Amino acid sequence: MKMSKKHTIHAFHEDDTEKLFKKLEIWDDFTSGKMKCLICDEVLTFENLGALVPYKNEVCGACSPLCIYEAQKLVSQSSNRTVKK
Ligand SMILES: [Zn+2]
C-alpha cells in the first residue's frame, strides 16, 4: 500500500476537527449523522473517521484504512478523468 498521494487526503487531528469541519461546511452533517463513508456507507463519527476525501467538488469522509485506500484510488481515478476530458 503506497501512501504517495498524501496531498489528496488530509491527515486527521481531533483538536482541529470542529474548526476544520465548520470551515468545510460539513460540521452539521457530521454531528447529525448524515456524513457517510465514501466507500462502505458507514455513518462517520469521531470514533471511526479516518480521513477526509475531496471528491466531485464535495468533502467526503472515509473510515477504515482500507476505505481510505479505496477512496484514494477513487479520487485519483475521477481526477484523471476530469483532466483528460
Ligand atoms: Zn468505510
DSSP 4-64: --GGGSB---GGGHHHHHHHTT-HHHHHTT--BBTTT-PBP-TTT--EEEEETTEEEEE-S
- CA angle at residue 65 from 34 to 14, to 5 degrees? 60
Which pLDDT score, from 0 to 100, does residue 35 have?
Answer: 96
- Rounded mean pLDDT for each run of 10 residues along the chain, 85 residues in total: 52 74 94 96 94 90 96 85 52
Query: Separation of 13 CA from ligand 1 center, angstroms?
Result: 18
Query: Separation of 82 CA from ligand 1 center, angstroms?
Result: 24
Query: Separation of 65 CA from ligand 1 center, angstroms?
Result: 8
Which pLDDT score, from 0 to 100, does residue 77 have?
Answer: 87
Query: Separation of 11 CA from ligand 1 center, angstroms?
Result: 16
Query: Separation of 83 CA from ligand 1 center, angstroms?
Result: 27
Domain ranges (residues) in the chain: 10-83
